[in-house]
Structure 1
């Protein structure tokens, strides 16, 4: 097995082209992605695989374009300042290992006192809540190779509204019985009045439009294989499951349904189930034309 040490890994990334692979580290930061590209479909179809964070990804989890096959590897928000190891096995069974340093990113810490009703809702073991969580996890794990890939950069669903919470915030919930629990905030909250129009951040298919216990009226859009945007706590829904929407189409209006301490929109982006920072993709598309020529792991989103 070829192994690229940390000290030289960045310089040698383009050498992965020898086995028909290229690696884009321009968003190698918490909430970002590492893109692995095969410029030869036969190489990927012949048995190439990636091992990443204990997972094995194969050709069945690659996005196909006219010129290449791309696997998007999302970086969770709790990997700040760490290393991930990427293995690429080509069709000839040659294994290349690459250590990727993940940029340091600072996150906000906040305490959120909850009312009696919100405490009960969050602490409840209600079977409906458990089933809704299971179904959402199943939905976000779906990878449909036939799903149409959104090629545009994302737009903000409520324009330049004020953010009340950011991606990756470290939260401490304080319940009325004195108990506390910690969680990570996987999206962005926008403080907007009830009734504010919410637009589709990109074109896609509506795969969920329903009321849920914790997130209230909720919408999930599929923007490509394994890529989903999420809109929570709406006051009303204007689309139905199965519909295709264009970027900017109105999905509904904002509200404070479900577990919400005030009127706001929660906007979230998931790639292969992992929550990533949607703001990173307002500047570049999911699949970028730049690869190893634009390496910059020091990017601080």
Structure 2
């Protein structure tokens, strides 16, 4: 009987009490997950954090910002216990996610390093009922000062559809910068000069941008502080020709069947003239996609000024279409479409050798829709030349070519009506007038002048 009472006592009293005390003295610390939007504090900075405790539950959560011995509490949250004054079974809150605004200016914090300190405790009886505690610290930087910009070039005369060069100095590292022209952004690049804080940017006016277009240098640091600085510039206006292209049924029959276009199940067969309907789709929708495709590799430009002197044009060639010609397409005397021609068409003899316009690196060699067989050459700092409608390509991606090296032969691939070279020049993602780059005087006055002027300043 005594043995039975003893066993009963063990089972009913001792074991439950043991389990209770073991649970209340559990030693697993809470877990804290912290997500910082950036290591740099911004005006609208918010810290996301999650605290979890699968044992006795969360007791206390404290978030503070510490700088130079000054500590400011951002959040101080207590979790109510289940039992009397926290003596039994801890908190019912095992998982808590919070968003904590960090309004550092409100507390008079200065630019420089600071520490976000998160302290979380649970309802364990360890530490004389203070619980298991975990402290997580994250170093952040308070930065409220916009980057400083110093423009070093003084001459920025740009023509509608043309190019300019600006050189400027920044005074801190890890800055994203470039030139804003209307809605277009042209990244600045180091490397043209020995000083790593001196940046150069070719920038352009599209054929649509003339006098009154806003231009400025923009710089943004990792904290999101932005500086914008205007610079002296003069914009020359110009007009572009209007050209009419008559599309024949013979041309459609020769060219259009080779284009394999994905129109998500739609067919042109139900139209009155399937070839014409397909042509219009190619000349509008496909054209836009092809332009994006040929300009995409420009992002891989190198910070090396490959080119030197004026650019070459196709030897012995005549212009068959000009840059920014406003083309009106007609079929059977009726207008069917309008597009802008973003290069110069040069015609010579059939399958004429095509020279590289200047020194550079081959960015792409591929067949691109309306452009046909295409070569793209990087001349450095976002300046590229495009050679389209080629019948043959004799270079490969990554090749280094010199001015005059043969890269292929003229042809009529793509949406070309007759053997010729479509020659284009692009700055970043904007096609510009190639004529400027054939002009030794223009290069001397607008590009070399600025480079030499900065070199003199930096001596």
Band the TM-score falls in, shorter-chain normalisation: 0.7 to 0.9
Residues 228 and 270 in structure 1, CA contact (< 8 A), matched pair in contact too:
yes
CA-atom RMSD, angstroms? 3.4
TM-aligned CA deviation for residue 96 of structure 1: 3.6
The verdict on how the C-alpha distance between 1:151 and 1:43 changes in structure 2, with shifts beyond 3 A counting, is farther
Tell me the residue number matched to 2:336: 180
Among 448, 455, 458, which residue is 1:289 paired with?
A: 448
CA distance in 2, matches of 1:128, 1:20: 43
The verdict on how the C-alpha distance between 1:105 and 1:57 changes in structure 2, with shifts beyond 3 A counting, is closer
Residues 24 and 292 in structure 1, CA contact (< 8 A), matched pair in contact too:
no
Tell me the residue number matched to 1:33: 163
Give matches, 1:19-168, under 5 Å.
20-23=150-153, 25-38=155-168, 40-42=169-171, 50-55=179-184, 61-67=188-194, 68-80=198-210, 82-88=211-217, 95-98=228-231, 100-116=233-249, 117=252, 119=276, 122-124=279-281, 132-140=290-298, 142-144=299-301, 146-168=302-324
TM-aligned CA deviation for residue 267 of structure 1: 0.5
CA distance in 2, matches of 1:280, 1:83: 21
The verdict on how the C-alpha distance between 1:263 and 1:55 changes in structure 2, with shifts beyond 3 A counting, is closer
Moved more, 163-172 or 179-188: 179-188
SS in 2 for 1:170: strand
Q: Which runs of 5+ in 2 are unaligned?
A: 1-147, 256-275, 454-459
The verdict on how the C-alpha distance between 1:27 and 1:173 changes in structure 2, with shifts beyond 3 A counting, is farther
Among 207, 222, 229, which residue is 2:363 paired with?
A: 207
CA distance in 1, matches of 2:243, 2:362: 33
Bigger radius of gyration: 2
Q: Scaled by the length of structure 2, what TM-score is found?
A: 0.52
1:218 aligns with 2:345: no
TM-aligned CA deviation for residue 178 of structure 1: 4.0
CA distance in 2, matches of 1:36, 1:208: 27
**Deviations 1:257-280, CA, capped at 9 Å, x for gaps:** 221122211100000111111221
Among 232, 244, 257, which residue is 2:413 paired with?
A: 257
The verdict on how the C-alpha distance between 1:208 and 1:48 changes in structure 2, with shifts beyond 3 A counting, is closer
**Deviations 1:94-149, CA, capped at 9 Å, x for gaps:** 65435744212132211001133155664235998776554324224x154x4532
CA distance in 1, matches of 2:425, 2:377: 10
Q: Which runs of 5+ in 1 are unaligned?
A: 1-17, 295-301
1:233 aligns with 2:389: yes
SS in 2 for 1:288: helix
**Deviations 1:20-68, CA, capped at 9 Å, x for gaps:** 2134545410222232211x4536866766443134556xx32521254
TM-aligned CA deviation for residue 256 of structure 1: 1.5
The verdict on how the C-alpha distance between 1:158 and 1:55 changes in structure 2, with shifts beyond 3 A counting, is closer
Residues 83 and 101 in structure 1, CA contact (< 8 A), matched pair in contact too:
no
TM-aligned CA deviation for residue 232 of structure 1: 0.9
**Deviations 1:220-254, CA, capped at 9 Å, x for gaps:** 11111322110111111111222221111001111
CA distance in 2, matches of 1:218, 1:286: 31
Q: Scaled by the length of structure 1, what TM-score is found?
A: 0.76
SS in 1 for 2:403: coil
